[in-house]
């Protein structure tokens, strides 16, 4: 498996992602400029990553302009053919704007930018400590969509406390149903607000991010 990491004007976590994937996880990585469009050298065994940041300055809405870039048109086609796509933070916002994932990311409930460590978990995993850094991370979808996500096991991660209790004060942004990450019906497109790439190094005393990549099936 190899990874491609998109770079938009305003991306600021692209090199973090590259460093984590190459140095901590041992994958080959290619940086992909937003004005290019060729993904023919990637197969459905590979993964394209949309990193965090402020693509195109977050004008209009977070991710609203990025979805029209030449590379995103290729990413949408890649995903529709079964290729793996991961969006983190701003990348998650772009995936929702482009229609690859349902719902939207709204302004945090406290109307403030939040940057801190939080805990997330799957229905079966232990609590994982993963950093967040966002101002519009509150996941929202209509009731029918939320019901479909839950019934189809598409809710990948929920916010929890250190002991694994979901919700309450452990939800940092007011996200509906404490959702921190979801996937599509085919389970090849993943979006999450927390940053696993910031938790893959022993130097940071936290490698829980490696477990996130394993849970998503993004490992050799």
Q: Choose the catalytic residue: 89, 96, 160, 183.
A: 89
End-to-end alpha-carbon separation of the chain, Å? Answer: 6
* CB 183, CB 191: distance < 8 Å: yes
- The answer to whether 30 is a known catalytic residue is no
- Tell me how far apart the alpha carbons of residues 132 and 20 are, in angstroms, rounded to a whole number: 16
* CB 178, CB 138: distance < 8 Å: no
Q: DSSP label at 126? A: P
Q: Choose the catalytic residue: 62, 96, 134, 195.
A: 195
- The answer to whether 195 is a known catalytic residue is yes
Give the length of the chain.
220
- Tell me how far apart the alpha carbons of residues 167 and 184 are, in angstroms, rounded to a whole number: 23
- The answer to whether 197 is a known catalytic residue is yes
Residues recognised as catalytic? 89, 195, 197
């Amino acid at each position: 498996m190899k990874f491609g990491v998109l770079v938009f004007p305003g991306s600021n976590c692209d090199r973090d992602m590259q460093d984590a994937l190459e140095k901590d996880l041992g994958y080959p990585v290619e940086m992909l400029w937003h004005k290019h469009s060729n993904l023919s050298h990637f197969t459905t065994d590979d993964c394209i990553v949309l990193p965090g940041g402020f693509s195109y300055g977050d004008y209009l809405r977070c991710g609203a302009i990025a979805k029209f870039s030449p590379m995103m048109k290729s990413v949408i086609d890649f995903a529709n053919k079964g290729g793996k796509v991961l969006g983190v933070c701003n990348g998650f916002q772009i995936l929702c704007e482009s229609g690859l994932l349902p719902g939207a990311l709204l302004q945090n409930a406290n109307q403030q930018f939040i940057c801190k460590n939080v805990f997330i978990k799957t229905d079966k995993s232990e609590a994982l400590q993963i950093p967040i850094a966002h101002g519009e991370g509150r996941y929202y979808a209509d009731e029918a969509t939320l019901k479909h996500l839950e019934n189809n096991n598409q809710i990948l991660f929920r916010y929890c406390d250190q002991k694994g209790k979901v919700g309450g004060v452990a939800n940092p942004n007011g996200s509906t149903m404490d959702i921190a990450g979801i996937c599509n019906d085919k389970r090849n497109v993943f979006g999450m607000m927390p940053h696993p790439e910031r938790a893959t190094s022993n130097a940071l005393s936290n490698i829980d991010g490696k477990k996130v990549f394993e849970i998503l099936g993004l490992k050799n």
